[in-house]
Structures are given as C-alpha cells and as structure tokens.
Amino acid sequence: MKRTPDRKRSAWKATARTLVLYNPEGSWRFAVYNDAGIIDGGFPDDLA
C-alpha cells in the first residue's frame, strides 16, 4: 500500500533506521531502510 509522504515520514521515524553517508563532494545523503531493504534516499532536507 502506498502512503502519503507525510505518513511515510512518520513511519520512518517510528520504524525505520537511517543510514547517513558523507560523500567526497561534501553533500550529506541518506538512505532510510527497514528489514526489506532501502525504501528511500536523497538529501536530509527532504525529511525536514
């Protein structure tokens, strides 16, 4: 079932783990994942 972005963000905070990586260009990127694997990724500002 698809969720709206707001509901997905709430689910991330409640159930998902966040892996934050730092790349050589100096940009923070994240991957939010659960037991099924990575479910989304992008820039941390997307979660603001």
What average pLDDT does this structure show over 9-26?
Answer: 53
The predicted structure's pLDDT at residue 12: 47
- What's the pLDDT band for 48 if we cut at 50, 70, 90? very low
Mean pLDDT, all residues of the chain: 55
pTM above 0.85, yes or no: no
List of residues 6+ apart from 30 with CB closer than 8 A: 18, 19, 20, 21, 41, 42, 43, 44, 47
What are the boundaries of each domain within the chain? 5-47
Predicted pLDDT at 1: 52
Interval 25-41 mean pLDDT: 59
The closest alpha carbon to 8, from 35, 43, 27, 34, belongs to 34
pLDDT confidence of residue 31: 61
